[in-house]
Amino acid sequence: MKKYLKLLTFWRVFASIILLAAAYVTYVRFVNGLGAATHLSDQFPWGLWIGFDVLCGVGLAAGGFTLVAMVHIFNLKRFEPILRPTILTAFLGYILVIVALMFDLGRPLQIWHAVIMWNPHSVMFEVAWCVMLYTTVLSLELSPLILEKFKLTGLQKALKRVTVPLIIVGVLLSTLHQSSLGSLYLIVPEKLYGLWYSPYLPLFFYVSAICVGCAMIIFESFLSARSFKKGLELPLLADIARFGVVMLAVYLTMKIMDLSSRSAFPLLFVPRMETYLYWLEIAVGVIGPLVLLSIARIREHPRGLFAGAVMIIIGFILNRMNISITGMEAWAGVSYFPSWMEITITMAIVTVGFGVFSLAAKYLPLFGHEHPVETTDIHDLSENLHLISEQSSQEPTNEIFIGR
Amino acid sequence: MLKKKALLIDTTLCIGCNSCQDACKKEFGLPEGQEKKLSATAYTALEEFDGIYVRRMCQHCNDPTCASVCPVGAFTKTPEGPVLYDEAKCIGCRYCIQACPFQVPRYEWTSNYPRVQKCRFCYDRIKQGLQTACAEACPTGATKFGDRDDLIREAYERIKAEPGKYVDRVYGIEQVGGTSILYLSSVPFEQLGFKTQLESTALPMLTWNALSKIPSVVTVGGVFLYGIWWITNRRKEVQKHEKKLHDLEHESNGEKEHRQ
Rounded average pLDDT over B82-102: 94
Is residue A38 assigned to a domain? no
Helices within A228-332 (DSSP H only): 234-261, 273-282, 288-294, 296-299, 302-321, 327-332
- How far B3 CA lies from chain A's nearest CA (Å)? 26
Q: Could you tell me if B142 and B224 lie in one domain?
A: no
Q: Is the pLDDT of residue A246 over 60?
A: yes
Is residue A297 assigned to a domain? yes
Is residue A31 assigned to a domain? no
- How far B29 CA lies from chain A's nearest CA (Å)? 22
Question: What single-letter amino acid sits at B117?
Answer: Q
CATH number for the domain harbouring residue A62: 1.20.1630.10
Q: Is the pLDDT of residue A37 over 50?
A: yes
pLDDT at A129: 93
In this complex, do A187 and B233 lie within 8 Å of one another by their Cβ atoms? no
Contact of A175 with A25, CB cutoff 8 Å: no
Q: Which of chain B's residues have a Cβ under 8 Å away from the Cβ of A46?
A: 94, 98
Band of residue A1 on the pLDDT scale cut at 50, 70, 90: low
In this complex, do A188 and B225 lie within 8 Å of one another by their Cβ atoms? no
In this complex, do B109 and A33 lie within 8 Å of one another by their Cβ atoms? yes
Q: Is the pLDDT of residue A381 over 90?
A: no
In this complex, do A123 and B92 lie within 8 Å of one another by their Cβ atoms? no
pLDDT at A268: 92
Q: Could you tell me if B190 and B217 lie in one domain?
A: no
In this complex, do A42 and B197 lie within 8 Å of one another by their Cβ atoms? no
Q: Which of chain B's residues have a Cβ under 8 Å away from the Cβ of A179?
A: 210
Distance CA A345, CA A29 (A): 10
Query: Mean pLDDT, chain A, as a whole number?
Result: 85
CATH number for the domain harbouring residue B182: 3.30.70.20
pLDDT at A103: 95
Is residue A15 assigned to a domain? no
Q: Which of chain B's residues have a Cβ under 8 Å away from the Cβ of A180?
A: 210
Condensed to tens digits (0 to 9), the pLDDT of residues B107-117 reads: 999 999 999 99
pLDDT at A368: 58
Using CA atoms, how far residue B131 sits from A169, B37, B127, B225, in Å, is: 53, 24, 9, 59
Q: Which of chain B's residues have a Cβ under 8 Å away from the Cβ of A186?
A: 206-207, 209-210
Q: In chain B, how many domains are there?
A: 2
Q: Could you tell me if B12 and B92 lie in one domain?
A: yes
Q: What percent of chain A has pLDDT over 90?
A: 61
DSSP lists the bridge partners of residue B145 as B7
B100 to chain A: closest CA residue = A188
Band of residue A158 on the pLDDT scale cut at 50, 70, 90: confident
Distance CA A71, CA A65 (A): 10
Q: Which of chain A's residues have a Cβ under 8 Å away from the Cβ of B38?
A: 42
Helices within B85-211 (DSSP H only): 95-99, 123-127, 133-137, 148-161, 204-211
Is residue A220 assigned to a domain? yes
DSSP readout, A35-102?
A: HHH----SS----HIIIIIIIIHHHHTTHHHHHHIIIIIS--GGGGGGHHHHHHHHHHHHHHHHHHHH
pLDDT at A142: 87
Distance CA A130, CA A111 (A): 14
Q: What percent of chain B has pLDDT over 90?
A: 74
Rounded average pLDDT over A303-330: 94
**Greater pLDDT, A68 or B241:** A68
Q: Could you tell me if B130 and B221 lie in one domain?
A: no
In this complex, do B109 and A35 lie within 8 Å of one another by their Cβ atoms? yes
Contact of B183 with B9, CB cutoff 8 Å: yes
A40 to chain B: closest CA residue = B109
Q: Could you tell me if B12 and B52 lie in one domain?
A: yes
Q: In chain A, how many domains are there?
A: 1
Q: Could you tell me if B182 and B104 lie in one domain?
A: yes
Distance CA B154, CA B160 (A): 10
Query: Mean pLDDT, chain B, as a whole number?
Result: 90
Write down which residue in B157, B173, B204 finishes a domain. B204
Helices within B175-213 (DSSP H only): 204-211
Q: Is the pLDDT of residue A8 over 80?
A: no
DSSP lists the bridge partners of residue B54 as B47
Of A118-127, B166-175, B190-199, minimum mean pLDDT range: B190-199
* CB nearest B73 (choices: A107, A119, A126): A119
Distance CA A296, CA A304 (A): 10
Query: What is the domain range of residue B82?
Result: 5-204
Q: Could you tell me if B233 and B143 lie in one domain?
A: no
Q: Could you tell me if B27 and B52 lie in one domain?
A: yes
- How far A148 CA lies from chain B's nearest CA (Å)? 25
Is residue A32 assigned to a domain? no
Best residue in B91, B197, B203 for a mutation probing chain A (most A CBs within 10 Å): B91
* CB nearest A75 (choices: B113, B218, B232): B232
In this complex, do B105 and A42 lie within 8 Å of one another by their Cβ atoms? yes
Band of residue A2 on the pLDDT scale cut at 50, 70, 90: low
Q: Which of chain A's residues have a Cβ under 8 Å away from the Cβ of B206?
A: 186-187, 189, 199
pLDDT at B254: 62
Q: Between β-strands B143-147 and B116-117, what pairing exists: parallel, antiparallel or unpaired?
A: unpaired
Q: Could you tell me if B163 and B230 lie in one domain?
A: no
Q: Is the pLDDT of residue A95 over 70?
A: yes
pLDDT at A229: 65
Q: Which of chain B's residues have a Cβ under 8 Å away from the Cβ of A107?
A: 90-92, 113-114
Band of residue A230 on the pLDDT scale cut at 50, 70, 90: low
DSSP readout, A217-256?
A: HHHHHHHHHHHTT----HHHHHHHHHHHHHHHHHHHHHHH
Condensed to tens digits (0 to 9), the pLDDT of residues B2-34 reads: 789 999 999 999 999 999 999 999 999 999 989
Q: Is the pLDDT of residue A387 over 50?
A: no
Of A143-147, A322-326, A368-372, B57-61, minimum mean pLDDT range: A368-372
State phi, psi for B88 to the nearest 5 degrees: -65, -30
DSSP readout, B11-48?
A: TTT-----HHHHHHHHHTTPPPS--SS-BTTBSSEEEE
* CB nearest A124 (choices: B93, B103, B114): B93
Q: Could you tell me if B119 and B231 lie in one domain?
A: no
Closest CA relative to residue B143, chosen from B84, B173, B184, B191? B184
Length of chain B equals 260
Is residue A303 assigned to a domain? yes
Band of residue B258 on the pLDDT scale cut at 50, 70, 90: low
Q: Could you tell me if B33 and B110 lie in one domain?
A: yes
How many beta-carbon contacts under 8 Å exist across A and B? 162
Distance CA B249, CA B141 (A): 100
Report ipTM (2 d.p.). 0.86
Query: What is the domain range of residue A197?
Result: 45-332+365-403
Rounded average pLDDT over A75-91: 87
pLDDT at B27: 93
Q: Could you tell me if B187 and B232 lie in one domain?
A: no
Q: Which of chain A's residues have a Cβ under 8 Å away from the Cβ of B221?
A: 171-172, 175
pLDDT at A378: 39
Condensed to tens digits (0 to 9), the pLDDT of residues B124-180 reads: 999 999 999 999 999 999 999 999 999 999 999 999 999 889 999 999 999 999 999
Rounded average pLDDT over A227-251: 86
Closest CA relative to residue A251, chosen from A295, A208, A196? A208
